[in-house]
């Protein structure tokens, strides 16, 4: 059981869960957990330390000893500091996302990060975004949301996001990458991507960010004691 109220927002890459989680957390004045950043950090650190993605023991040690802090900035940006280095941009590339998906398939790494993720659940509450927040990390959360959208829509969103960060990408390549990542995330042995049995699924393909946020907040209000 979690000691603080938790809203979980799961979904595949590009479904909008990160943005929605940030907006919902801001509206409620709650903490936020970007679980995907932890896996990106493990992958990034492994590459820096030349630890193979086929080395579960090496990856697990990295996960257990991540020296990371998240620093909120006045303009609403959150900096990710790994071993004293700002890696916020480095871990947001499409390549970093692919690497994180591979690392996330290692059961020992997921186990190593489980306690760390649960520790984010502190008062007044937590909005946790990821791929197994509602199914594994916070199974007792009173509100679980699963966001989805077509691969094409998600690729277009990702393309805009990358361009906004000054990064180059190809739409057709992004669609292919997203489909491959979906297959890997949904079919992995440990904590596969899927909606929790009691999750509310929202297709965001034709919805604006504000509309999705409003739906989530409405769901939360309807479930408050």
Alpha carbons 165 and 37: distance in angstroms, whole number: 17
Residues 6+ positions from 6 with CB-CB distance below 8 Å = 121, 125, 126, 127, 128, 138, 140, 141, 142, 143
- The pLDDT confidence band at residue 78, using thresholds 50, 70 and 90, is confident
Query: At a CB cut-off of 8 Å and minimum separation 6, what does 135 contact?
Result: 10, 191, 194, 195, 196
Q: Residue 3: what pLDDT?
A: 66
Q: Tell which CATH classification among 2.40.170.20, 3.30.2010.10, 3.30.465.10, 3.40.50.300 matches the domain 5-219.
A: 3.40.50.300
The yes-or-no verdict on residue 152 having pLDDT over 60 is: yes
For the chain, the maximum distance between any two Cα atoms, rounded to a whole number of angstroms, is: 50
> What is the pLDDT, as a whole number, of residue 2?
46
The 3-class secondary structure across 112-144, one letter per residue, is HHHHHHHCCCCCCEEEEEECCHHHHHCCCCCEE
Residue 76 confidence class, pLDDT cut points 50, 70, 90:
low
Output the CA–CA distances (angstroms, integers) from residue 132 to 3, 75, 88, 179, 218, in the order listed.
19, 29, 23, 18, 23
Q: Percentage of the chain with pLDDT > 70? A: 96
The tens digit of pLDDT for each residue in 81-138 reads: 899 999 988 998 878 888 998 998 899 999 999 988 998 899 999 999 999 999 999 9
C-alpha to C-alpha distance for 16 and 217, rounded to whole angstroms: 15
Name which of 99, 105, 94, 89 is nearest 40 in CA terms. Answer: 99
| Averaged pLDDT, 47-51 | 94
**pLDDT at residue 93, as a whole number:** 82
Neighbouring CB atoms inside 10 A of 218's CB total 10
Work out the pLDDT band at 34, boundaries 50, 70, 90: confident
What residue spans define the domains of the chain? 5-219
Q: Given pLDDT bands bounded at 50, 70 and 90, which one contains residue 225?
A: low
Determine the pLDDT at residue 1.
42
Q: Is the pLDDT of residue 67 over 90?
A: no
DSSP conformation class of 90: G
Work out the burial of residue 9: count CB atoms within 10 Å of its CB; fewer than 13 is exposed, 13-18 middle, 19 or more buried: buried
């Amino acid at each position: 059981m979690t000691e603080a109220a938790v809203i979980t927002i799961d979904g595949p890459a590009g479904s909008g869960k990160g943005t929605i989680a940030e907006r919902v957390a801001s509206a409620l004045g709650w903490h936020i957990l970007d679980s995907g950043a932890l896996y990106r950090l493990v992958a990034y650190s492994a590459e820096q330390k030349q630890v193979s993605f086929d080395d579960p023991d090496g990856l697990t040690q990295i996960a257990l000893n991540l020296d990371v802090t998240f620093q909120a900035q006045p303009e609403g940006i959150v900096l990710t500091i790994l071993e004293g280095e700002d890696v916020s941009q480095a871990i947001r590339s499409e390549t970093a996302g692919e690497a994180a998906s591979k690392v996330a398939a290692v059961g020992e790494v997921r186990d190593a990060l489980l306690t760390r993720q649960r520790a984010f659940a502190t008062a007044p509450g937590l909005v946790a975004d990821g791929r197994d927040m509602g199914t594994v990390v916070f199974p007792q959360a009173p509100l679980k949301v699963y966001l989805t959208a077509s691969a094409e829509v998600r690729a277009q969103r990702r393309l805009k996001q990358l361009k906004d960060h000054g990064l180059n990408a190809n739409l057709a390549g992004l669609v292919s990458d997203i489909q491959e990542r979906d297959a890997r995330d949904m079919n992995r042995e440990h904590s596969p991507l899927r909606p929790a049995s009691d999750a509310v699924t929202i297709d965001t393909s034709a919805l604006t960010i504000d509309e999705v946020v409003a739906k989530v907040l409405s769901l939360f209000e309807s479930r408050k004691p």
